[in-house]
Amino acid sequence: MSELGDVESLLRSALRPVEPAEGLSDRLERGLSEITGAAAEELADTELSAMRNPRNWGRPVAAAVVGGAATGALVLVRARQRQKKRQARGLRAVEKGVQGVSAGLRRRLGG
């Protein structure tokens, strides 16, 4: 029976949540912001007349997929930061994250 207790305590200590380094979330947010901005600029530079040819769809589709994934991750990172600061919880934190990302994109695209 004591072996079972030892295994349980070892598992509990091994599976304890670990907080990431303080600078990691900032670096992650900065990197995701750069990716989102680059994807938005790529899409803004795409000429609609060139889209008639399916061979020209690769870059805009890739930019939309990568930009969408980076934007979604950025929203979640910002929502998590707001939740940690106790400024918002749950859907309110996600909503504030979406607002922050959209404001940043508008600033970058000059709109």
CB 38 within 8 A of CB 74: no
What is the spatial distance between Cα 41 and Cα 39, in angstroms, rounded to a whole number?
A: 5
17-45 pLDDT tens trace: 777 777 887 888 889 889 988 888 888 88
Cβ atoms within 10 A of the Cβ of 24, count? 10
What pLDDT does residue 90 have? 65
Q: At what angle are helices 58-84 and 90-109 packed, to 10 degrees? A: 130
Closest C-alpha to 101, from 80, 70, 63: 70
Question: Which amino acid is it at 31?
Answer: G
Q: Look up residue 1 and give its two tokens.
A: 């029976």
pTM above 0.85, yes or no: no
Confidence class for position 66, pLDDT limits 50, 70, 90: very high
